[in-house]
Structure 1
Amino acid sequence: MTIVALYVPSDRPERVVKALRSGADGVIVDLEDAVAPARKAVAREMLASLAGEIDAAAREGSVVAVQVRINARGSAWHDDDLAALRPLPASIGVRLSKTQSADDVVHVRQALPGRDVHALLETALAVERAFEIATSGAASISTGEADLRAELAVPEGEEGEAGLRWSRSRVVNAAAAAGLPAPLLSVYADVRDLDGLERSCREGARLGFGGRTAIHPRQLAVIRSVFTPTEAAVRRAEEIIARVGSAAGDGSGTVVLEDGTFLDVAMVRAAHRTLAAARR
């Protein structure tokens, strides 16, 4: 389970190497916003060494999920990005920027068969189509909030958190309805404001997000501390699984804990999710 994923520009290979050993659960090698137009071709060429760097990091004990964020369908760079990904191992996922429709996901899946496609929803229209996109074969959906803030006239930083709440909840709900993992929150742009990052993460956790993407290694510990279940939460999840499992076994199907909480078998799913997050 990915709790924190670190973005790194593809045209900075030394940063890619460091990111793979940073302690992040995932690394997103970026061909889009982090790479200037004049550097796009260089960034694609650098991808040729990515599989080797992943293998080297794994031999050193650093095993992470890796994605490549590509430029949006219809952009001048999209087709070349797809071509650069084809020779890479299928275990490297593709993160599709500015996904606007289910057809965008289908297009990439057909161009890169066997590879997970993770859809970034960055506009009001994409958020309105969240469930359609989530059920198009995407491996995950999540928000990209820089463009979304601009379109919705939502202020930058913490001031705009409330203005994004509905859009964020819409995406969380669509992912759950489609049976996808809980989305990752978009990046927090001020890498120096760790207190603000923590508050923002807690707001996202309350809405149902499962983690967050980061743009600097110093953000990783804060994100992980918020989204990793506490020891008390883990103990409770273990109790729920054990007690409800026993109830199901003896045919009762329900149980009441010592604190008066009424449980049934439906709550086991959330408990398993808690334990999965705790294992990272």
Structure 2
Amino acid sequence: MTATTYLYVPGDAPERFDKALRSGTDAVVLDLEDAVALDRKDAARTLVAQWVSQCEPSGVELWVRVNPGAIQERDIRAVVSRNLTGIWLPKVESAEQVTAADRVLTECRADHARISALVETATGLLALPRIAHAPRIDYLQIGEVDLAADLGIEVDDSAEQLLFARGQMVTASAAAGIAPPVAAVSVNFTDLPAFEADTRRLRRLGFAGRACIHPKQLPSVRAVFTPTADELRDAKDILDRLSAAPSGVGVDARGRLIDEAVARSARRVLARAR
């Protein structure tokens, strides 16, 4: 996974497609699911398929969130092109659903296309380990509003009620050896300091990147996931000190013990910078 910012665009709003591509986001997510009314699904599919196949991404990733259920295969087959980065699968509750999408992509000869699974129910949460090991899975996501509704929990501004689910997603991703999960959207695009603080908490929990619903949110997400000069300097210093240590452990500039586990975190910081 190379993207940090993911900007949603409704699939039936073609006047916003090019704007999203030029917004500075790492990835555009064209939404055929929740953002599109039922009677607009066919039109949105056609609009998205045409634009994805004809646009010039210029390094921006292009993802499409398809619909669940009976029309999912139709969505996938329609949007496949050389420009498509991958598919966001909503309401995933089993590895078999991912395997079915993988089969369609294979039939379409879209070997380059990746899959991100959105887990939005209690059933999906319990199936996370198997979903994380499914074919083509690049990274996982939580549909937090849907999950909270399914579980019957009330989420306040701290979102501490979702800590257990977020932790399970990070753990399942690490255990499967896939990229860290991408954090869910926030409807808050007016109080940007609060949004940035929330994004920072998610980064500390192990998420890498965040989905956005408004271009105003992009700079905050990028600021959170881009290491500062101090963080880069500290990470490099840790690796240098450990490399020069006579044994497998060393001491950092503050006199604290450092070992391979600390070095792994330092390497992750440097990877974020790249």
Structure 2 residue runs of 5 or longer lacking an equivalent are none
Q: How does 1:146-161 map to 2 (within 5 A)?
A: 146-155=145-154, 158=157, 161=159
- Cα deviations across residues 2-22 of structure 1 (Å, max 9, x unaligned)? 221111112212211111111
Give 1:80's aligned amino acid: R
1:170 pairs, out of 168, 171, 180, with 168
Structure 2 partner of 1:96? 89
Structure 1 residue runs of 5 or longer lacking an equivalent are none
Q: Does 1:262 align with 2:257?
A: yes
Structure 1 partner of 2:73? 79
Q: What is the rounded CA distance, in whole Å, between the counterparts of 2:210 and 2:98 in structure 1?
A: 22
Q: CA deviation at 1:90?
A: 6.7
1:67 pairs, out of 59, 63, 66, with 63
Conserved? CA contact 2:7–2:25, under 8 Å: yes
Conserved? CA contact 1:117–1:140, under 8 Å: yes
- Cα deviations across residues 231-273 of structure 1 (Å, max 9, x unaligned)? 11111111223333344xx6x3322223122222343332222
Q: CA deviation at 1:70?
A: 0.7
Structure 2 partner of 1:109? 102
Q: CA deviation at 1:91?
A: 4.8
Structure 2 partner of 1:6? 7
Q: CA deviation at 1:187?
A: 0.3
Give 1:189's aligned amino acid: V
Q: What is the rounded CA distance, in whole Å, between the counterparts of 2:239 and 2:63 in structure 1?
A: 33
Give 1:9's aligned amino acid: P
Structure 2 partner of 1:52? 54
Conserved? CA contact 1:245–1:265, under 8 Å: no
- Cα deviations across residues 145-172 of structure 1 (Å, max 9, x unaligned)? 121111123335515x011111011101
Q: What is the rounded CA distance, in whole Å, between the counterparts of 2:253 and 2:193 in structure 1?
A: 36
Structure 2 partner of 1:130? 128
Conserved? CA contact 1:71–1:78, under 8 Å: yes
Structure 1 partner of 2:228? 230
Change (3 A) 1:121 1:36: same
RMSD of aligned Cα (Å): 1.8
Q: What is the rounded CA distance, in whole Å, between the counterparts of 1:265 and 1:172 in structure 2?
A: 21
Conserved? CA contact 1:158–1:196, under 8 Å: no
Q: CA deviation at 1:222?
A: 1.5
Aligned length: 266
Conserved? CA contact 2:196–2:220, under 8 Å: yes
Give 1:48's aligned amino acid: Q
Structure 1 partner of 2:269? 274
TM-score by length of 1: 0.88
Conserved? CA contact 2:248–2:260, under 8 Å: yes
Q: What is the rounded CA distance, in whole Å, between the counterparts of 1:71 and 1:78 in structure 2?
A: 5
Point out 4+ residue stretches in structure 1 off by more than 4 angstroms: none
- Cα deviations across residues 13-56 of structure 1 (Å, max 9, x unaligned)? 22111111111111111111111111111111112221322x2x
Q: What is the rounded CA distance, in whole Å, between the counterparts of 1:196 and 1:151 in structure 2?
A: 26
Q: What is the rounded CA distance, in whole Å, between the counterparts of 1:101 and 1:82 in structure 2?
A: 18
Q: CA deviation at 1:85?
A: 2.5
